[in-house]
Each structure stands twice: as structure tokens, then as C-alpha cells.
Structure 1
Amino acid sequence: MENIDFDGVDGPDGIINIYTETGTTLADGAWTINPKFRSAFDEATGNLSTWALKRASTVATQNDYFFELYNTTCGTDPVRTAKLILGPYSGVALPPSGVNNVNAQGCDFIGFDLFSAFALDKNTPSPHLNGEWTYNGSSSSFVEIMGSLLLVEIPYQPGLPLVDQEIFELTYTVSGVSGCAIEQTIIRVAMVRQVDSGESEPTYICEDDLLAGVYDLDIDLTNDQYLSGEDIEGTWFPESTGQIENEQDSKVNLRAIYDNLIDNGNNLRFGIERFNFVYGVEQRSAVCGDQTTVVRFMFLEELRPFKQRNPPFQICNNIPGEIDLYDFLEFTVENGQSFEYFSDTNTNWRLVSGSSSLGLHVLSPPDPDYTHRGTINTFQAEPGTYIFEYGVSPSINSDPANTCDPYATDPLSSFYCEHPCDVMTARVEIEIFGFEYTGEDTKDVNLCESLEQVDLRSLLTTNGNTIATTGIWTNSTGDVINNTFVFPNLNSSQTFTFTYTTTNSGGCVEATNLVFTIHKEPNAGEGSIATLCSDDLTITLFDLLSGNPDTTGTWKGPFGYTSSDHLGVFDISNVMLPVLGAGNYLYIVPGSDGCSTADTSTVSITIVEPLTIGTDRSETFCKIDGSVNLYSLLDRDTPRTGIFEDTDNTNALTKDGIVEFETLTNNIYTFRYVITNTQPCDQSSLNVSIQIVDLPTPVVPAQEFCILDAKRLEDIEVDVLNYNWYTTLESDTPVIDNPLLYDNQVFYIATVDTDNCESERLEVLINILNTGERFANGDLCTLDFQDGVSPNGDNQNDTFHLLIDEVYNIPEAFPDFDLKIYNRYGSIVYEGNINTEEFRGESNISVRLGDDLPSGTYFYIFTPNFENNLPIQGSFYLSR
């Protein structure tokens, strides 16, 4: 395959065409290959890259390459099959180089991939992968070949030459099937030794060894105790302690490092510190790398002693609550720095002696509730001496970032190292004293005042123990009380709180509280009789009792009535309450926990009915109506035996119930109608309200118009929005048309509202001025006709107008008018009246009838022919 050239360009390419090799075409169908070899085969063209097939054919069928031809005629069955037998190819070694003629060079530290010694370019395929490697020598440096990885170990030779290497010759053999020969390729590889900076384990030093002088002298870092197996050609790197002054210097003084660390006692709590010294060996060949080793020293702060503060601690066993043993410890202080140790993982409390552990949680075996506080509970504990021990592991100063944790306790742990520092412990001694029993706190004791006195200790509850008789009783103010308590005189039930206290020889105080209530005997008071009016059934039954009754009772009455409290409230206006009915109501005060017998009293209720008077009334009247009889406004069922009261003090009400409107204004007036009832019913009453509508009289100024205006009734300005015009003062029919106004004409106007109320009527006199007369303000009543006529059809001055919108209406003002128009020679050219078409530049005189008059100045005489109105004359210009 290495010699196949499909395209004939730039040397071999290893491509064959399946269609050519099998004598088929695209019309016969499409060739396919096993999907795992699909990247080597182009099904569209049939080109197969044999260089992309990485294994030579062998007897084993998995290395045979099969092809199948499919078309639409045969469907899922192949039309034809073909098999490619690929001969072995062992590749081409890289060109040899150097004095030793080697094909490649590798480092023994990581091994060498032998396939990297083969040439690979666009004209040279890679070797088949199903071959075998063999070593052609017998060097003791040879280790093995794993797949294609060569593993060797080149021995170290101190001194010159610095490059330690050895050449290995190997053969790569690829076998073929029958008809294809075996192929072999020989390569030479120079393997170089990787330099070695040695191995080192961290050295853990407890502070007490440093203080004892164990490390006062210099140490050599190259000693096997600190660094072993290193190449001697290496150097030391500078570091922060300043101990190594040059790269060949391997001696350091750990005591000097420690003294610098604690800074004259200012840094005693350093916990754990690392000091690293780095030894490095540079590479001998580019195929290998530099190597460094860290020689690490770990300085570990030693634990300072601690002890119990002022032992022993004494406590009485009747004090509830927990105490912390940790609070009794006193820790070392050096140079102003406290060596206090608290941790929930590196400390432990344990009971040394005592009848119980008092609920102490310990770290071992693991207890999830353990805390360094060492919490115990001495309440009701057995009296005696208890000794506890607090232990602190030196791992409390650990740093969890260490790869080797000197504080790990499990030797099987990968982080375990033997800790160089010691555990520190101290003991805490506690003495627990007993007390004299006073019973249990007691409350909710109920007594009746009839007992008169009681033995207080007999009221206390107990847990089964006997109550001591040596205690004393005190009240809330501290006064001493006798055990036999005599009841005081009480006005109501009263609760007392007393305390019973004992003190034993050990100074332990025990106290118990007693709360009891002395109850008054129930008192329902004295009953009564009450009469109510049915229109006011609002009453509180409790208010009808006498004799200072208790407020703890409830009521029972007729119609299944029961009260929710002692009041027995009835309110006729509250729909949530029942309605009071006539009958006997029983007040029941129940017995209490101390006094069990109930007490009762009775209230008897009688109800009187008032007269039915009806409902309130209201009406609206126009002031011009004059008056109204209030009795006429009452319902037909309302008795007429009552009287009206002038509640608004209008002084318009007569004793006969008539209201005169003359002095009333726009307002609503209320009058009360009252009928006297039988006691205890109050008067029956209702209200009658009347609303008076008093409209203002319109204000209309003197009416003065020019006759030329031809004004109508609606043109008169009025100061109100709603009004009616009348032709007479007494007329009931308003003017509904809009008549033309004439001189000396009289109208009457009145304000009206939506309810047809009217104000007083105002007389309005019409004054029409004739032409030539002046208004009261001096303006002249006259007519100014237009000064030009242009009959050109532009709708502007096409005629000599007699009807001027919104200004004058000549035909309506002067229906008998006469208009004559003359030319400049004095000849009449037009004569018109109300029945004549307006002058539009044509003559309507028989001599020149219909002629278009020439442009020029024309003269007119307008005669009103109405009363004393004078003729009006002037001129205009006719333009064409």
C-alpha cells in the first residue's frame, strides 16, 4: 500500500477505488463498509484510503475489510460483496543522527513511545498497529516493553560525564496473511537518565525539644535522615530563613530558626510552622527535566499546663440549670499571651470519680453532642464529690492543610504521622450538697370563706418525699406568716401567694410557692319589678338588681332566653340581641371551686304598648302657594288627637296646624306631631318636613331696540337660565312662540324650576326706536347700506342687500318700504318693495327693463313707510 498513487501527483497517496477494483459503476448501486472503518471510505466516490486502515490483514477475520454493494432492486440484501486483504506495513524509521546513528532519544523517567521514532508525512504512512516489538540486546538497563512503551533504568554515574545514557536497538515486526510477506523495521533509541534530587520525609519537632537544646547545633540537610538518594551535582535554593547562604551550603540551625519564629516571646502562639529547604538538580538532556526535592521541618507548638481555679467548686443540688466545667479552668499566660485551649474535636472530658457523670458528653467514643464546655447538670444529683478531667490533644495546634497531619489519630490514615508533642490534662473537683424538701410549687387551690382558716403545709403537693417542718412562710412583701392561716374579711374572692423556705447546715436554700384563692359565697342580689314601653325595650337586667350582686352569674328568662354574661343586655336597635319579652327573669350565680352552692334572684318585666302614630312625612311647596295645613299631610291611619310643634321656631305655624309661607325662604322646615301615651311610654311622635322653594325674580334691564334690528322675544337678555314669558300678570299660559317685538309692548317674566315652581313675575316694557332716534347711551338708530355692487357671481355684493344676517332685516322691520335707485343723470333705473327681487345691476323700469346697467355711481332713496321713520338716501358704485 505504501507505493499506491491514485492521483499521480506528488508521490504515493495509498488510495484505491472500489468501483475500479470490482468493475462496477455508480449505476450498479452504492458500496458500504463496516461503520468502524467509515472514516477511510468515501461512499459517494468509492475512494478508499488504505493508509487510514491501521491494521494489516491476518488470519483473524476481524482484520479483514469487507465491502457490500446495495441497490433498490435487491433492497436490504447485498447485490455483491468484496474483501480487501491489506498486506503488512512496518513503517519507516526516522533518519539516524549523531555519532551513534540513533533514530530517536528518550528519557528513562517517563518511558519512550517507540512509534514516535517513525517518519510520518503526507507521502509516508504510519506503521500498522498489529505488529510486535522485540529488543535486540541484553543490557541490564532494559526493563520491559509495554505495548509500544519502552521502559529502561539507566544507572547513575556520579561526576563527569554528566549525561548518563544507553542505546537500545529494537525491531518492529508486522505479519501478513498468505501471499503477503512479513515486514520489519529496526530503530535505535538513545535513552537518557533522569536526574534525581532525592527523597525526603517531613521532620516533626515539638517545641519542647527545641527548648531543651536538642537542635542547638547545626545540622546537615544532606544527611540521609533528611535527604536520601540525591545526585551530588545539585544545588540548594535560597529561602526565607536566611540559613543557606550559597547554593552549596547544606547546613542550617533549627534553634536559630525557632528563636526568630517566636520573636522574643511575641509570637508564642505560632501553632504549627513549616520551614522548607529546596534541593534542585538540573537536567542533563533536553528530553528530561529538572528535579527538585523539598526538605521540610515542622515546628509544633507544645501545650502549656492548665489547672482548676480555686478548687473545689461547691453547689447545691436544688439549683436548676447546667454548668460548664470549662469555666472552672485557669490557663497559662506567657508574655501577655493566653494559652487557652478550646476545641470540640481536639479535647475531651471524662469522669474520674463520682457516682455518675452528671450528663457529661465525651468525645470518645464519638458523641455528636460533645462540646469542650464540659456541660453537666447537678440538679437533683446525688450529694458527694465528683472529679472530672479535661484533656487537650496537641493536634489542637494542627493545620489541616498538611499533607501529613501529625494530629491524625488513625495509623491507617494516609495523613497519619506520629505526633511529637504530649497531651495535656487537668482535673476539676466539684462538691454537691443536698437540701431540705419543701414540697412542689402548688397553685390553683380553691377555698371557701366559710372555712375561716387553713394549715398552709397541708395545701402543698409533694413528689412523695416528706415536707420539712423547719421552714418558714413569707408573703410577697417578705413578712413571716404562720403555718395556720386565718382568713381575713373579704369583699370579693382574693388570691394569696406565699413562699415556704428551708435552709440546711450546708447553706442550701429550698423554696416552694403556694398560690390559693379564697372565694366569697355566691350572691345574686335582690330582685325587682320593672315596667317598660314596647317602643323602648332597651334595658340591662343586672342594673335592676340591688344588694351588691356578684358579676359571675347569668340570666334565664321566658321564650328560652339565656344570657352570655351577667349583664342581661336588651337593645331594641341591635339586631344581634334578642327582643325583651314580658315575664320573670332569673339571675343565677353559680358556686365556685371553693363554694359550691349557687344563689338566685328574680326580675319581673311588664310591657306597655304605645299608640301607633304612623311614619314621618315630607312634601315640597312653592312659596307662591301661600300656606299648607300640616294635618292634611298625615297618613290616613294617624290619629288626629295630637298637636304640631314648631321645632325649628319658624313662627309660621298656627295653633290649627297651618304653616304660612310668607316669612319662609328656600329651606326645609320640620314640624313635630305629638300624641300623649300611657306611662311609662313616652309621647308618640313623627316629623313632618316641608321644603319651600323660593325662586328669585329675574333681573331684566330696560329693553331698548332699534327698529332696524327687528328683535324678537328670545332676543331679550335674562339673568336666569329657566324662565317663562307671559302676556299678562295673571296668565296661566306661558308664551311658547317667539313673537316680533313692537314699541310700547308689555311682557311678564318669572323664574321656573323643574317642579314648575315660579318666582314673582316681573313686568318688562319694550321700547322700539325709529330711524333717526338715539338710544339712552347716545347711539343713533340708523342704517348704513353697502357702498358697492359687483354682480360677478362670486357671492360677494352680487346684489343691493336688504337682508343683512345678524345685523338688519329690512323687509321684516319695514314691510311697506319703498326703494328707488337713480343713475348719475337723475333717471330712475330701479324701483322695489318687499315683493321685488333685490337689485343686481339690472333695470326693472319698463323703458330699460332687463338691461345691464353700466359701471358707475348710482344713488338710492329708501323710504320706510312706517310711523315716524325718515327716508334714508345715499350712493353706491356699480362695478362689472
Structure 2
Amino acid sequence: MFLLILSIDSYSQCAGESDEILICDVENPVYKNIDLFALLGGSPVSGGTWIDNSKPLEESIFNGFLDAQKLRNSGIYTYTYIQDPTTLGCTSSNEATITVKIGPYAGYSSPNISTCDDVESFNLFQAFDGTKLAPQQNGIWTANDTSLSLNGNTINPKILGEGTYSYTYTMSALESCVAQTATVFVSVFRKPRPGSPSNLILCSTDNLAAFNNLNLNSRLQGQDSGGRWTEDELVTNELTSLNDNRINIQNIYNTLGAGTYNFTYTVLSTNPICTDSQSIVQIIIEEPIDFTGATLVVNSDICENQMATANYTAILTKGSQPVPNGIYDIVYEITNGTSTTTLAVEGTFIEGVFTFDINRLNFPVIADYTVRIISIRNRSFYNVCTNIIGTISDVLTITPMPRINSATVLIPSVCKGVAATAEISGNTNLSNGNYRITYNLSGDNTATNQQLDFTVTNGVGQLLIPANLIPNVGTNTVFNITSILDLASGCTNTASLSKVFTIRPLPNVASVVVNINTICLNQDATIRLSGLGSLTNITLDYSLSAANIISNQNVTLSVNSGNASFVIPASFLPNPGNTTFTLNTLLDNSNGCTAIILNNNQSFSVSAIPNNPVANNFNFCKNDLSTIASLTPNGTQYQWFDSVSSTTALNGSTPLVTGTYYVKEVNSSGCESGRTAVSVTINTTDLPTLDTDGQNFCGLDQPTIQNLSERTNASGILYWFDAAANGNQVTQNTLLTEGMTYYGYNFSTTTNCYSDALEVTVSLSNCDVTPDFFVPDGFSPNGDQVNDVFRIPKIEFIYPDFTLEIYNRYGNLMFKGNRDKPEWTGRNSDYNVGIDGIAPNGVYFYVLQFNKGNKKPVQGRLYLNR
């Protein structure tokens, strides 16, 4: 290693002092990571910025560690260290530069470098040892044989030919670093020669059998012997082995059809440097392109006034057979019956379409021109075949301008609202076909720039002026044609042709009103018309639809003061249902004009006669309180009567009585059925009666409902309820209750009817005994269900109005009882005795009032023991 460090700047500075380094053995690994900061002289302060002066400003800043082996050229490089003097308190310069000098390095050549003589450019730097540091790039190459060609660092082995050649690479000295050289040797090997191929091109219509044993070697020139023939993926299977060189072209076509078939001749390389060589012989079989069914359209037909500026485009479209895309040469001819012009054009078929322009000078006069294709050739084909053309042609027509200024126009008078017929004939040049005129109307009716299409046959054309353009009545409407267009050719010409005609008035039908009433089946329908104004005699056309259908019936009517009427016979109305009357037209017989009636439909109903109602006889119970509403059928369409001839229907709330009633159906249209007789029977059951004082019982006897039934005159079973309406049935063994009202009904098993209710309020106080009472002298309210209350047995039946008062020994009232409150439980919250109204153990006193028969009250005492 040769290292030379020189001090250049002796001034102390914040960035240190500049210095330099000379490197003569750059391949030494120590130069892969040079710390430039360590090379600064003086006392540099760290933390500054390093600048690589060999790079653009935006790439120049780096970390100060240099890989010298990445410098690919020998030369001088500088790196500047910059420090901020303000931050550091320095006053001297804040920059220092390290200069790095890289000496020459020529690298190490490889011992064996080879290439093939088919290579046209070989880079000599490929001849260096790739395991060593690559040589620097700014040296000079020289050929050791001055006759050899050299272009910078590349040679052309194809020109050099087979042999071995040497070249030297020189890196110049730098200061004390001496120059270096490296010599490389390149061996050039010969590549195998596969020969120059000659393709065989045939048409499918040629004599392919002449090539049934074709030697492929005969299609090569200058090839090395010993090669082998193959084909891509064995498409034809003609080659049976690597030594086979003969093919049958007739068999190829019969099997695979037209196409390009590649056969490859391969010569193997005798050295490891050159690759094998190949030549490809193509057997090309073409088929004629079939244009059968192809069409030619020459755009477009023109009028004689366009001849000076017309442009013509022809579009050739293939038929059912495919036509390959590509560039074609086409020859065509133009004939007008007197002369023929032959022309050629080059263009492109794209997806079966070929478009080309034809110069207008080829169509000089008014005539029909036939453009016909003569030949078509595909430039990408070898064109060994003659294509199938057939007849492909089109006719281009140049049409004369239509002229009618000297023609005759006839327009008969018309009714208002009806289109007017105009007839054009006489002196015109119009051939049979379709035309369109532009016209104006003036006078009584005005319109501008209107158009009408019409057909000319044998010199005569008829057209209709729309009714909406001639709404005004009068004798002075002017029809003026301003232009005419031939619809077939599109040729148009100005015109000046006029005619005056008359518009007759229509009958005024704007106020016509139709009235039809609903009818029943088999009735005639009367149609009443009003709003006919001053009309006197008219003919109507009308139709019926919906339930009854009839079309275009005519009736002639006299009109009186704007009104008229007529009858549609019942035979026209055989079906029930909604029927629509449509007034189609109204003809004023005085001038022959007919008005079309719009939206004058009137619906009416032909109502079916209802069938006689089906009804049964009825039996009701008297207490059912049945009314007419109880009978069936019922509903708003049914009416009930109390006699066959009555005209007043009975109200639904009318009570029923035994007798015969009659019902009929009246539908919504008022059509009535016949009457059906219905027998009504109102059944009654006798009301039971109660025996005298039968409501009075003695509660001591524990009387039941059965006992109450026995006090009536009913011979059967009475049914008793606890309420007059919606009550609960009371069974026969139920005990009677004091003051309770019971309702008894007698039931007939014959009519299944109940009688009216027998209402009985029971008294259980009818006891005629005066027994000695047992008044208990004590009780024990401790909840053991034994003697828990103080009660005088049966007193409520003998003395129903009794009262009982109980006092404590202090004279305070503890309890007050009666029939509804006969028991004392030893507590009474009505009186504040003890805790929670509980009476304590002890002696208590009672006062018993009988309130019956002047019997005196009694007093006594009792003992409460819990």
C-alpha cells in the first residue's frame, strides 16, 4: 500500500484543515470505508456537513465515509466539510476540503474467453475475472495485431472469423502511481452452416401430385451435411425419423388444407461455444379467395345539380366466405351504356370490407352507371391462385330535377274537418314513383311550409291536404306548391303551382247531449237528443257496445227546436247489463257534410228481471218479539207486504202477527220480481200464576226453588232465573234467599216457546213460632274453628228485624249487629278497643231488641275467653 498525506492548510478553523490522500492500490479492502473526517488537519469540530463535489447539488450530501472502489475512473476527487461558525463561536473560515487521488487500476483478465463467429459485437470487458475488482473505465484498448478491427472496447467476431485474438487494456499513470495494463485473449469458433432456404409456393388447384416425394434438401443451398429435418409439433407427420427428408405435399393438403408448413433443418455444433444452426423451408399452399356473394355499394346516387361537387365512395363487402384482412389491388370498370372506363385502386380489406373513392369525372352526365369489379389481388399473398370473382357490381344513378310548374291541379270542394284531395297531372317530367311537395295555404285558411307525400302513376298524382289545416269555412282557400322532392332519388326543385278551393261547413255538434234512461229487459230504449241548434233534418250513425253489441246503425230524424228522439227496439237489447250507446257521426242532410262525434258515449243499464224470491214459512214465539226484519230473505232489495195487492211495503220494525205475508225483489234499476207468499205463525205459552202468599216462606224450613214452583198453577217444569234479562238459571234444589226476586218461565215442548216471566220476590220471615231462645253465654275467638264467633241461632228467621248491641264493663259499645251482620268475632275496628280492635278476655254485656209483636228486649252477659 502506498499512502501519501500532505498538509495544505495550516490555519486552525472550526472545520479543521484541508488535506489530501493519494491511493495507488485501490483494490485494497481498506479503501472500501475511508473516514474523511479523520483525514482533516487541525481541530475540526464534528457535526458538520460533507459535500461530494463530483455530484449534482441535490445528491452531493453524504455521511463522510467514502468507498473508493466505487469510483470507476482513475482521477482526482474532492470532498468539502462545512461547519457553522456562529453556533460554535468560531470566527475563522468554516470549510475544509479533502482531495482524494485514485491511481490507475487495469484489473485481472480471465485465462480463457471464447465466442462464436455469428456474434457481431463482443465487449472486451467480458474477458476480465469476475471474482476480482472490475477494472476502471477510463483506460484505452489496443489490438496486438494492428490489422484487426476494434471499436472502443468492442470487436466483431463475425468479421474476424475463426481464430484466437489478443487485446491490451492500458490505464495511464497518476503522479507517483505507475501505469497498469491487462491483456485478454479471445477465441472465435465456427458456427454450423444450415444453408439458405428456398420456399415452395403452390396453389391448391395446381398439380400437387407432382410433389408427392419432395426432397427437402433440394430446397437448401450451401448447408453443412449431416443435419436433420423436423417440423413444429409434427403438424403434418410427414417426417417419420430424424434421417427422413422427404414429404408428400398432396397428402399434406388433403389432410390439413391450405396454409404455411415449416420444415426446419438443424446442424449440430461441434464445439460448446456456438449453438446449433437452423434453416426453415416453408411449403406454402394458397387457395383462391372466394368472393361469391360479395356486394358492391357505390355511394351515393345524386341529383343533376350536385354533379359538380359530388364525392363518390364504393364499399365492397365479402360474401359468405371469409376474406383475409390485408392490402389488396382491385381493378374495376364503369359503364354508362355508351362508354366503359377501366380503373385500378389499392386499399385495405378490414373485417371483410374494402372502401375506396371514385373520381366524379368518371360520371360526367345524367345516366345510370354500372360499376363492376374485374379482379382482386391480396398483396400479402403470393397470388399463385386466381381468385373467384363472379359478378360484383352496383348501379349509380344521377337523377334529373323534378319539374311541375306547367302541371294542372284539381281540388273539389270539401266539408270542414275533411281532408281535401288534390290531383296533379298534365305537363310534368315526373316518372312513376313517390314524391314530396312543400306548400303554403292562404286566404280563408293559412299555413306555411307544409309537406305532403304522394305517388305518381302514369303521370297522375293524388295527395290529401290534412283537415286540421283547413278548419275555416269559405270559398277562397289558396293551395300553393313551392317545391317538390323525388323521394327515391332525394332530388328537390322549386315549384310555383296554385289552386283555389272551397270548404263547406259541418253541422254544429259541440252542444249535442244524449240522454238514455235505465230500462228493464224486454223494454225499448228511448234516445233523446238535444243541442242540435238550427239543424232541420239529420242522419245519425250509432253503435252499441258492452252487454249489447250492434254496429253502424243509421237513422234519419227531423229536428224540432234543436231536439230529436228515436227508439232502439228491445230486439237490439237482448242481454242484461251495462250497454254503451256511441253516437259516431251526424250528417246534415241539407249540405251533405258529416260531423264526427268525439267522446259522445252514453252508458245505460238493461236490467234483468229478478226471479221470484225463495222463502219458507215461519214459526216464532210470542216473547221473541219478531218483526218484518226477522223474515228471510231480507236486505234492501226485498220488500214485504201484508196482502198480495198492497202497494205499501212494510217497515222492518213492524211486529209480526199470525197470517200470510208477501215478498218481492226490486233490483237497483227498479225492476221487480213477482210476489212469494209466506205463512207466519206466532206461538204463545200460558203465563204461570202464583198461589196467594206463595212468596212467603219460613227460613227455618230451608225452602228451595222446587218449593216455589209447587206454589204455582204450572203443570210442567218451570225454569227459574235470577234476573229478567241475561240472568243465570237457578236449579230446583237451590235454597231460596231472603228478599231475592226470581223469574219463572213456563216452557212448551210442542212449540219450544217460553211464556212471559212470573216475577216473585221471596220472604223467609213467615215463621209463626215463638220458641225460647238459646243465647250463648260465651265464645272463644282463637281460630280453632270451634265456637269462634258469638251468634244467636235462627233468630234472623223468627225475628228478622232484630238488633244486638254488646258493651264492655265500662259501658263502651263493642258491636252492633242485625240480620245482615249477625256474628261478633271479638274484634271490631269500628270501635277503638284494645290493639287493632281486639277485645280482651273478660265479661261483656248484650242488649237484644226483637222488634216484633211488642216483645220486650232482653239483657244478659257473656264471657270472652281466648
TM-score (norm 1): 0.42
Q: Which has a greater percent of strand?
A: 2
